[in-house]
Amino acid sequence: MPSTPRSNGGPGSFWLVCADMIRYTLRRVGWTILVLWAIVSLTFVATFLSPIDPARSYAGLRASKQVIAEVRRQFGLNEPRWVQYGRYIERLLHGNLGHSYATGQSVFGAVLGRLPYTAELAIAAMLVQITLGLPLGVAAALYRGRPLDRGILSVSLLGVVTPTFVLGYLLLYVFAFKLAWFPLGGTSSFAALVLPAVTLGVGGAAWYTRMLRSTVLNIVGEDYVRTARSRGLPERLVIWRHVLRNAIGPLITMIGIDLGVFLGGVLVVEKVFDWPGIGEQAWNAISFNDVPMVMGTVLVAAFFITILNLAADLVNAVIDPRVRYSGTAGGA
């Protein structure tokens, strides 16, 4: 195992590790807050750069000038930008993402109602990515240059370059329409989850396979791995205890990012399979120029991506002490 900047021995080593972990956590939390603030600010700017008039969209295309003026006054759209920005931040801190132009309902409530469906799909797709990507990546590295390695690399390349919507429609046609093994869409049963989860997970599994193969190949040549083998340890133990422990860090970071993206709503997959999640809601909002709903979805996606990326970095810091000592974990 590679050495870390501090020894694990000594009576005060536990408290030193705790202090380092606390400092690292505070630093990462600070960066995460800064990133979230930047995203929120950019979202606010994008709202005003949009050619769509919020007051007219909310009041309706046939609304009179008096009604539009009243809407502007009611929502504070006639106030200075910095005042609107301050109120925008205040509303977000209270969980108020505004109201939909199309339906008038709370954006936060609408997103919250769709979140369980997206969470279900996200978890299922993540299981597909890990179940396929982890063993295939390790196998490709251990059988480098052999037919198994070449076959895995070819299949993973196909998974990387195939557009998600193409794979989705292909699976629908073959397994739902032709063979009728699965429903054509919706959430009628557990079987309805299989095809969208596979569609969403295959691309990520292909990336995991190629990344893990490269990482494992770099690690198996390290001195501590050769030392473990020279001591007569079984190959399985060498792989699990010495290789995977050090190769898993980048994979954890990618899992955190991917899960955040999935929870933010995967628009194409949810639309293809008529899955009533946040992504489909965003698609409908775009179709109706529903700016608050679109922006609300963007903020929810950004929140999940940054928070889960933070969680992945903290897990990496626990697994690999070098991360918290060097501060080189993945960015927020």
Predicted confidence at residue 326, as pLDDT, reads: 57
How far is residue 145's CA from residue 282's CA, in Å, rounded to a whole number?
A: 45
Consecutive H or E run containing 316: helix 291-319
Phi, psi of 331, rounded to the nearest 5 degrees:
-70, 165
In order of 39, 172, 190, 202, the CA distances from 180 in angstroms are: 44, 9, 15, 21
How far is residue 312's CA from residue 109's CA, in Å, rounded to a whole number?
A: 28
Predicted confidence at residue 61, as pLDDT, reads: 66
Helix (H, G, I), strand (E, B) or coil at 106: strand
Q: Helices H, strands E: what count in the chain?
A: 15, 0
Predicted confidence at residue 11, as pLDDT, reads: 47
In order of 49, 133, 202, 326, the CA distances from 119 in angstroms are: 32, 21, 17, 34
Burial class (CB in 10 A: 0-12, 13-18, 19+), 8: exposed
How far is residue 142's CA from residue 181's CA, in Å, rounded to a whole number?
A: 36
Task: Please report the sign of the dihedral spanned by the C-alpha atoms of residue 187, residue 193, residue 195, residue 196.
Answer: positive
- Which segments in the chain show pLDDT lower than 70? 1-14, 17, 48-61, 74-77, 221, 223, 225, 228-229, 232-233, 235-236, 241-242, 245, 264-265, 319-332
Predicted confidence at residue 102, as pLDDT, reads: 73
How far is residue 18's CA from residue 83's CA, in Å, rounded to a whole number?
A: 43
> At the top level of CATH, which class does the domain 114-317 belong to?
mainly alpha
Predicted confidence at residue 60, as pLDDT, reads: 65
The candidate with the shortest Cα–Cα distance to 329, out of 261, 257, 262, 258, is 257
Contact between 182 and 175 (Cβ < 8 Å):
yes
Hey, how many other C-beta atoms are within 10 angstroms of the C-beta on 225? 18
Predicted confidence at residue 124, as pLDDT, reads: 92
How far is residue 45's CA from residue 115's CA, in Å, rounded to a whole number?
A: 26
How far is residue 213's CA from residue 218's CA, in Å, rounded to a whole number?
A: 9
